[in-house]
């Protein structure tokens, strides 16, 4: 704990407690051979590739080679997937664990073997310990049992092995950190939140999937409804996949965790698998009336159309911090103690750059922590000073050597302390010296950081 506190004091970026430890554990093991930026960025790339491989292997149980491969490749091509492959976050690990858990439960429904029920529970616990939203997997078994009509599974003792790993491994962590994670929840009443969330995620589904893939998913849903009407059941794999799609939307439309398109990521693999399985069925039907190559052409054309829609470039959130920090390190041989006044993206970018470049020479303090108080979402915000003299005292007590203000922060996200620091820098040139501008980019928009030495 002392190490963690010391590390967070120098680089306030890792938020164990608000986030469970699963991703940090995997990342720590991954970085044992090499603690480099390349190694850090390879982990999300590997997880995305692994998810695509799982999509392909699961898809082969429902369709032929070409559509299964198309679904897997299209997953890696989607803009949202590429965005979170380029960011070091836990979302892609959650996608992998949720997909494996869904496939494990489908296998349990097919075989009735206890090992698969237990596997679902272990994978669900791992998902929850990666991100609390892994709790959405609790909705998959009832949905899958409903869609398969296998009601006897409810009475099977083997089914009830699944909750044991969750209760033993995940629930203690959730209980111990509930007071922390509560800060990240929306304060809106459940009915009001659902009224906002349902149209939000409906629109984001269109933007994330694109019209071609969304149309394919709708066709797959119609075919699934026809199968249910005719046979009163779906296959275990299809039922589990549709159950996971419904679980994602139901969970995020009810649980007030905030609105964010990345929450749709765990639903994408299932949508791709059922969508391309439906396309393959259409291609097979077409192949009986036309030359065989036309059925393959249908799959290729649809896949290319969906990929083209999804292929807009991914813009890095924040770029240019590393050269600015390199210049500061070159111009001063002394240790640097920086305070950054920006939004969470600007603060986080400088923290990450300093931790990678010079962890022994740089301490980074976030303006939102040093110069103000608020909860995780910025609610209850209050500045920690009311006059310039009080600001100087805060900076002196913290040992600040340099002050950095992000002039490209969106107007709606500029904190009051950031405005106050900018005004103090202009009004007190005797305390803020060697003021210079460092060019940066925010989502390809040119901007700059204002950097000044602070004289004690």
pLDDT digits (tens, 9 = 90+) for 44-73: 999 999 999 999 999 999 998 888 998 999
What pLDDT score was predicted for residue 319?
85
Average pLDDT over residues 87-112: 96
Q: Which of 269, 285, 310 is the last residue before a domain boundary?
A: 310
Instruction: Tell me which residue range forms the domain holding 329.
Output: 318-454
Please tell me whether residues 286 and 338 are part of one structural domain. Answer: no
Contact 55, 75 (CB under 8 A): yes
What average pLDDT does this structure show over 209-217? 87
The dihedral through the CA atoms of 119, 72, 290, 219 has a sign that is: positive
Question: Do residues 114 and 218 share a domain?
Answer: yes
Half-sphere exposure of 35 (CA within 13 A, CB side): 7
Name, in order, each residue with C-beta under 8 angstroms of 42's C-beta and a sequence gap of 6 or more.
Answer: 30
Cβ–Cβ < 8 Å for 448, 407: yes
For the ranges 119-128, 174-183, 271-280, the lowest mean pLDDT is seen at 174-183
**Both tokens assigned to 56:** 């392909």
Beta bridge partners of 333: none
Q: Comparing C-alpha atoms, which of 372, 397, 396 is closest to residue 384?
A: 372
Kindly state whether residues 189 and 298 are assigned to the same domain.
yes
CA dist 64 and 419 (Å) reads: 59
Whether 444 and 303 map to the same domain: the answer is no
Contact 448, 439 (CB under 8 A): yes
Pair (306, 325) in one structural domain = no
Q: Assess whether 265 and 380 both reside in one domain.
A: no
In this structure, the answer to whether residues 185 and 282 fall within a common structural domain is yes
Nearest to 14, CA basis, from 90, 114, 124: 90
Which one is predicted more confidently, 278 or 184? 278
Asked whether residue 338 falls in the same domain as residue 284, the answer is: no
Shared domain check, 230 and 373 = no
Instruction: Calculate mean pLDDT across residues 409-421.
Output: 91
392 and 265 in a single domain? The answer is no
**What's the CA gap between 198 and 191, in Å, rounded?**
11
User: Containing H/E element for 274?
Assistant: helix 268-287
Pairing of β 402-406 and β 336-341: parallel
Q: Give mean pLDDT, residues 194-199.
A: 92
Same-domain pairing of 380 and 235: no
Task: For residue 404, give the 3-state DSSP assignment.
Answer: strand
How far is it, in rounded angstroms, from Cα 129 to Cα 279? 36
Q: Report the pLDDT value the prediction gives residue 293, as an integer from 0 to 100.
A: 62
Residue finishing a domain among 310, 326, 354 = 310
Same domain, 346 and 294: no
State the pLDDT confidence band at 405, using cuts at 50, 70 and 90. very high
How many angstroms separate the most distant Cα atoms in the chain? 84
Q: Domain tally for the chain?
A: 2
Judge whether 100 and 123 are in contact, CB under 8 Å.
yes
**For residue 335, is pLDDT > 70?**
yes
pLDDT confidence bin for 289, thresholds 50/70/90: low
The Cβ of residue 388 has, within 10 Å, a number of other Cβ atoms equal to 15
Last residue of a domain, one of 290, 310, 330: 310
CA angle, 92 then 94 then 96, to 5°: 75
Task: Please give the torsion angle defined by the CA atoms of residues 242, 265, 123 and 115, in that order, rounded to the nearest 10 degrees.
Answer: 30
């Amino acid at each position: 704990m002392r190490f963690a506190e010391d590390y967070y004091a120098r680089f306030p970026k890792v938020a164990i407690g608000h986030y469970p430890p699963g991703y940090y554990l995997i990342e720590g093991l991954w970085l044992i051979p090499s603690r480099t930026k390349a190694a850090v960025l390879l982990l999300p790339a590997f997880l995305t590739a692994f998810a695509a491989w799982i999509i392909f292997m699961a898809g082969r149980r429902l369709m032929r080679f070409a559509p299964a491969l198309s679904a897997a490749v299209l997953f890696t091509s989607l803009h949202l997937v590429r965005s979170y492959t380029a960011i070091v976050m836990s979302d892609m690990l959650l996608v992998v664990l949720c997909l494996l858990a869904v496939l494990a439960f489908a296998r349990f429904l097919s075989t009735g073997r206890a090992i698969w029920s237990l596997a679902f529970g272990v994978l669900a616990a791992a998902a929850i310990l990666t991100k609390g939203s892994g709790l959405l997997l609790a909705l998959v078994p009832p949905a899958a049992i409903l869609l398969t009509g296998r009601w006897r599974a409810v009475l099977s003792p083997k089914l009830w092995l699944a909750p044991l790993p969750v209760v033993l491994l995940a629930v203690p962590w959730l209980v111990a950190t509930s007071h922390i994670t509560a800060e990240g929840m929306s304060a809106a009443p459940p009915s009001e939140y659902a009224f906002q969330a349902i149209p939000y995620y409906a629109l984001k589904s269109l933007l994330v999937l694109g019209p071609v893939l969304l149309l394919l998913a709708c066709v797959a849903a119609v075919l699934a409804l026809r199968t249910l009407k005719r046979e009163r059941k779906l296959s275990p794999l299809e039922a589990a996949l549709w159950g996971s799609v419904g679980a994602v939307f139901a969970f995020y439309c009810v649980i007030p965790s905030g609105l964010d398109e990345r929450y749709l990521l765990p639903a994408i693999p299932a949508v791709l698998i059922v969508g391309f399985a439906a396309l393959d069925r259409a291609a097979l039907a077409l192949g009986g009336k036309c030359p065989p190559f036309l059925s393959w052409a249908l799959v290729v054309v649809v896949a290319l159309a969906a990929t083209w829609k999804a292929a807009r470039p991914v813009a890095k959130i924040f770029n240019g911090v590393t050269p600015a920090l390199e210049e500061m390190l070159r111009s001063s041989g002394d240790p640097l103690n920086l305070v950054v006044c920006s939004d969470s993206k600007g603060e986080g970018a400088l923290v990450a750059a300093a931790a990678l470049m010079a962890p022994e020479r740089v301490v980074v303090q976030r303006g939102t922590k040093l110069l103000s108080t608020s909860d995780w979402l910025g609610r209850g915000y209050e500045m920690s000073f009311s006059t310039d003299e009080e600001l100087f005292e805060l900076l002196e007590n913290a040992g600040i050597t340099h002050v950095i203000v992000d002039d490209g922060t969106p107007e709606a996200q500029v904190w009051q302390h950031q405005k106050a620091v900018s005004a103090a820098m202009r009004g007190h040139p005797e305390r803020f010296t060697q003021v210079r501008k460092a060019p940066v980019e925010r989502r390809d928009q040119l901007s700059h950081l204002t950097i000044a030495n602070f004289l004690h």
